[in-house]
Amino acid sequence: MTLTAFEARFFDGKTAKPHQVSVELHAGRLRISMSGESCSSDWLYKEIVVLQQSVPPQPATLTSLKNRDMRLYVEPEHWSSLKTELPKTAFPALTLSTRWRSLAGYAGLSVIFVLAAVAAGPRLFERASELIPHSTEIQIGKMALDSSINHPVCTAPQGKAALDKLVYMLKQGVTRDIPFNVRVVSDDETLNALAAPGGHLVIFSGILKKADSAEEVAGVLAHEMAHIEMNHPMKSLMRNLGVTLTLHMMFGDAGVLSNTAHFAGLIHQLHYSREDELEADKIGHALLEKANIDPSGLTLFFERIQQEGAKNNNHAYSKWSSLNEYFSTHPHTEHRVNTLKSNATASKNYQQALNDSEWQALKDICSEQTD
Amino acid sequence: MSTIATDQAFMGRQITEAAQPERIRHHLPTHRITYDGQTGQVYKIWLLNIVMNIFTLGIYSFWGKTRLRQYVAGAFKLNKDRFEYTGTGKELFIGFLKAMLIFLVLYLPFMTASIIAPDAAWPLVFLIPFFYVLPVALYSAWRYRISRTQWRSIRFELDGSVMKFAGVFLWRWLINIVSLGILIPYSDIRIYQYVADNTYYGDIAFRFEGHGKNLMAVHLATYSIIIGLLIFAFYGLQLMASSFVTAQMAIAQHDLSFDEALVIFFGNASFFAALTCIIVPFILLPMVRLIYKTALIHEITDHLHAGEIGFKSTVTTFALMKLKLGNFLILILTLGLGLPVIMQRNLRFFAQHTQVRGDLETSSIKQTDSRKPADAEGLNAVMGLDSGFI
């Protein structure tokens, strides 16, 4: 049965007075007559604009181009048949089919955009690190270190001299114009060294305690200096900033999802930082070669750390090591040692990195400390 | 018989005289606001928003928000006719871009200054404009929402100046701090007054005749109870600390293991006394505050007029408590997935407890074009004020 007439609510857009009207369908027009009054007005189909389709129990909202303040509310039971009568022009942006179609197109474009952002985004943000002037970079590094490292600094003069000598030798292969600011901090328990933006290097005294020769310390130092040479700290800072911003834009207010997304982002970051570590190993190796220091020191040092690790948690270590690598900022030690070994050239005559008394002075650098 | 028939004809919207004795006094019919939004529909819109936001890097959120507002406005009905939201996603998006720009312009001086002088305090001066951002964002958002709402083809408007509102807002904020919270009712009312007095429906202006002094008694009563509870909680913390010290001393003296120490710590009667002292105020504090909140809702609703039309709230402290407690439980038990349910509860609650009084049928309210349409909101979206919902 086709719809020929129905009752509706009508408002003229000029006053708030409600009108109960009867609407008749004629060819190409709706005839709207006020009940109890003789006057009626015609809405041509081509003038009708559907502002909102009916979502039961809500009526459909119609207006006319003659005066867009007018409203005709069509109840759900009449809407389904009236809808088929109206021409496409009555549904400017809101028809379900065009809306879905544009959404699909929009989603498709966005997927491409997201994929491009994920693939190229971190690298783009890395490039942004080149725009940051050195003075700012040094300032940022200082701020980062001051707020995170509050160990006493080791300052024995002879030890410092030995350290400076190592830095000077290794600096010969560095092309980036940035001053190095290397310090040893007193913490025998920590087997670590770190590079902050702006040439700031920190070596924890645990490294000096564990090392058997100046070559091993030189290896660690070269690795961290390589990070600076490649501008890794600043790049990773910008990369993390970029990933965080992107994720926030994507998942900003999606509650539970945002946690998952940030976890995914973390894995993303870890992947990049492992790449950085392998690159630093390679460049560090080159710095050692250039300084004519035996690069096997770094390899030896890693091997020993690995053996200790194996001793400490023998069974679990071998079982979980591959999983560990996936979730760690540093590549698996065994993997690194193998890579380093494959880079090693046939043994040649390297100079001694430090003589015995210098090496001893370096090991004792923490005999004097300032806070 | 005829009374029943009339009531049915009005579909229960007009309340019988017996139930509303005030009606006789005012000779004004009372109208209920109804809300018939369906939770299933709200979930559909909400979930689509989440999925689309992921694919579109959040850009869809402006259109999604619009869709939700349209649906919610259309679900409110006053005397047979529904409300309508006429905002568009495009307006929201453009408003957001503008707000981003404003934010950047405000932020640049601070950023530059703190790079030039990282250790100095003077760059903080550049953060002062940010105090204005919150009230400005709030007012612009309200203005946009209100101006995009209409009923019976007549638009609502929020006039007034954003900067003046920010002035009132910040001034009252300062007074609240200086008066140690004692003058909070005056501030609440003053801020509401600015908004109410600048609201229009077509050519009729809203008037607000409430006063802060009407709330002082209930405020001071609840305020002193809250301070009492805080002292109680502070005492609880002290007890807790002392029972912790007792346990530690026992460990040191008797060389106990960690497990043994735990037994002493929790076995200590004063520990549970302390826990009670902390938890009881924690539960009671918000509940006590709801007494004031109820009084505030009554004050701002019952003294609001639009021409001949008046408003009345039927909120009770108990009902508000049930609502808030339920919302809280839903939020934590569903890990946020119950957000649409909470929204539905709030909207239904508002409709259920708000009445409109006056002759809506014959009043001659006219549309007006004298005021300019408001700029789209956006600053609040940048600040994350609206938490992405409605």
pLDDT in tens, A46-94: 899 998 888 888 999 999 988 889 999 999 999 988 888 888 888 876 5
Contact B153 A16 (CB under 8 A): yes
Best mutation target, A58, A67, A140, to test chain B (most B CBs within 10 A): A58
CA within 13 Å, CB half, B266: 5
Contact A15 B154 (CB under 8 A): yes
pLDDT of B307 reads: 86
Q: By C-alpha distance, which of A324, A226, A325 is closest to A276?
A: A226
**The amino acid at B238:** Q
Q: How far apart are CA B322 and CA B349, in angstroms?
A: 11
Instruction: Give SS3 for A331.
Output: coil
Contact A55 B84 (CB under 8 A): no
Token representation of residue A261: 């997304």
Cβ count near B324 (within 10 Å) = 18
- Encode pLDDT of A278-305 as tens digits: 888 889 989 998 888 888 887 888 777 7
CB pairs under 8 A between A and B: 111
Contact A252 B366 (CB under 8 A): no
Tell me the backbone φ, ψ of residue A202, rounded to 5 degrees: -125, 130
Tell me, letter by letter, the H, E, C secondary structure of A237-291.
Answer: HHHHHHHHHHHHHHHCCCCHHHHHHHHHHHHHHHHHHHHHHHHHHHHHHHHHHHC
Q: Say if residue A317's pLDDT is above 50.
A: no
- Determine contact: B82 vs chain A, CB below 8 A: yes
Inter-helix orientation angle B317-333/B269-302, to 10°: 120
Contact A16 B202 (CB under 8 A): yes
User: pLDDT over 70 for what percent of chain B?
Assistant: 80
**The amino acid at A117:** A
Omega before residue A57 within 30° of 0, cis: yes
Give the CA distances from residue A92 to residues A252, B128, B160, in Å, rounded to whole numbers and listed in that order: 31, 45, 34
Contact A107 B55 (CB under 8 A): yes
pLDDT of B16 reads: 42
Q: Say if residue B214's pLDDT is above 90.
A: yes
Of residues A11, A107, A257, nearest to B152 (C-beta): A11
Q: How far apart are CA A283 and CA B92, in angstroms?
A: 50
Burial of A326 (0-12, 13-18, 19+ CB in 10 A): exposed
pLDDT of B282 reads: 79
Tell me the backbone φ, ψ of residue A214, rounded to 5 degrees: -65, -30
pLDDT of A92 reads: 73
Q: Say if residue B239's pLDDT is above 90.
A: no
Best mutation target, B153, B383, B385, to test chain A (most A CBs within 10 A): B153
For residue A322, name the pLDDT band (cuts at 50, 70, 90). Answer: very low
Q: Say if residue B1's pLDDT is above 50.
A: no
Closest chain A residue to B64, measured at CA: A103
Q: Say if residue A123's pLDDT is above 80.
A: no
- Determine contact: B307 vs chain A, CB below 8 A: no
What percentage of chain A's residues is helix, strand, coil (to nearest 5)? 55, 15, 25
Compare B309 and A326 and report the one with higher pLDDT. Answer: B309
End-to-end CA distance of chain A: 91
- Determine contact: B147 vs chain A, CB below 8 A: no
β-strand pairing of B30-35 with A369-370: unpaired
Tell me, letter by letter, the H, E, C secondary structure of chain B.
Answer: CHHHHHHHHCCCCCCCCCCCHHHHHHCCCEEEEEECCCHHHHHHHHHHHHHHHHHCCCCCHHHHHHHHHHHHHHHEEECCEEEEECCCHHHHHHHHHHHHHHHHHHHHHHHHHHHHCCCCCHHHHHHCHHHHHHHHHHHHHHHHHHHCEEECCEEEEECCCHHHHHHHHHHHHHHHHHCCCCCHHHHHHHHHHHHHHCEEECCEEEEECCCCHHHHHHHHHHHHHHHHHHHHHHHHHHHHHHHHHHHHHHHHHHCCCHHHHHHHHHHCHHHHHHHHHHHHHHHHHHHHHHHHHHHHHHHHHHCEEECCEEEEECCCHHHHHHHHHHHHHHHHHCCCCCHHHHHHHHHHHHHHCEEEECCCCCCCCECCCCCCCCCCCCHHHHCCCCCCCC
Q: How far apart are CA A37 and CA A22, in angstroms?
A: 11
- Determine contact: A143 vs chain B, CB below 8 A: yes
Region A193-220: what's the mean pLDDT?
87
Token representation of residue B312: 């009345």
Q: Are B209 and B373 in contact (CB under 8 A)?
A: no
User: Contacts by A249-253 with C-beta closer than 8 Å and gap 24+?
Assistant: A249/B57, A249/B58, A250/A114, A250/B53, A250/B54, A250/B57, A250/B58, A251/B53, A251/B54, A251/B58, A252/B53, A252/B58, A252/B61, A252/B384, A252/B388, A253/B53, A253/B58, A253/B61, A253/B384, A253/B387, A253/B388, A253/B389
CA A88-A93-A99 angle, 5° bins: 95
Q: What domains sit in chain A, N to C, each tagged with a CATH number?
A: 5-94 (2.30.29.30), 128-370 (no CATH)
Contact B84 A252 (CB under 8 A): no
Q: Are B360 and B34 in contact (CB under 8 A)?
A: no
Q: How far apart are CA A210 and CA B207, in angstroms?
A: 79
Question: Taking all residues of chain A, what is their mean pLDDT, rounded to a whole number?
Answer: 78
Q: Are A23 and A87 in contact (CB under 8 A)?
A: no
Q: Are A229 and A277 in contact (CB under 8 A)?
A: no
Compare A132 and B379 and report the one with higher pLDDT. Answer: A132
Q: How far apart are CA B88 and CA B373, in angstroms?
A: 13
pLDDT of B314 reads: 95
Of residues B41, B75, B153, nearest to A70 (C-beta): B153
pLDDT of B121 reads: 78
B250-261 burial: b if 16+ Cβ within 10 Å, else e: bbeeeebeeeeb
Contact B81 A18 (CB under 8 A): yes
| Weakest-pLDDT range from A337-341, B35-39, B74-78, B385-389 | B385-389
Compare A167 and B249 and report the one with higher pLDDT. Answer: A167
Closest chain B residue to A132, measured at CA: B115
- Encode pLDDT of B263-285 as tens digits: 666 666 666 777 777 777 878 88
β-strand pairing of A5-11 with A67-74: antiparallel
- Determine contact: B119 vs chain A, CB below 8 A: no
Residue count of chain B, please give it.
Answer: 390
Burial of B306 (0-12, 13-18, 19+ CB in 10 A): buried
Compare B170 and A335 and report the one with higher pLDDT. Answer: B170
Q: Are B147 and B155 in contact (CB under 8 A)?
A: yes
Q: How far is A295 from chain B (nearest CA, A)?
A: 40
pLDDT of A268 reads: 55
Contact A250 B54 (CB under 8 A): yes
Has this prediction a pTM greater than 0.90?
A: no
Instruction: Give SS3 for A304.
Output: helix
- Give the CA-trace dihedral at B92, B97, B99, B103, to 10 degrees: 160
Q: How far apart are CA B170 and CA B177, in angstroms?
A: 11
Query: E strands, A88-159, where?
Result: 153-154
Q: Are B10 and B31 in contact (CB under 8 A)?
A: no
Q: Say if residue A314's pLDDT is above 90.
A: no
Q: How far apart are CA A157 and CA B131, in angstroms?
A: 51
CA A201-A202-A206 angle, 5° bins: 145
For residue B381, name the pLDDT band (cuts at 50, 70, 90). Answer: low
For residue B10, name the pLDDT band (cuts at 50, 70, 90). Answer: very low
Of residues A11, A114, A256, nearest to B57 (C-beta): A114
Q: Say if residue A264's pLDDT is above 70.
A: no
Instruction: Give SS3 for A338.
Output: helix
Region A99-121: what's the mean pLDDT?
68
Q: How far is B299 from chain A (nearest CA, A)?
A: 28
Cβ-Cβ contacts under 8 Å, A257 against chain B: 50, 54
Most confident range (mean pLDDT) of A92-106, B20-34, B309-323 is: B309-323
- Encode pLDDT of B92-122 as tens digits: 888 888 888 887 888 788 877 777 777 777 8
Cβ count near A286 (within 10 Å) = 15
Contact A255 B337 (CB under 8 A): yes
Compare A348 and A214 and report the one with higher pLDDT. Answer: A214
Q: Say if residue B183's pLDDT is above 50.
A: yes
Q: How far is A246 from chain B (nearest CA, A)?
A: 8
User: pLDDT over 90 for what percent of chain A?
Assistant: 15
Question: Taking all residues of chain B, what is their mean pLDDT, rounded to a whole number?
Answer: 81
Contact B55 A110 (CB under 8 A): yes
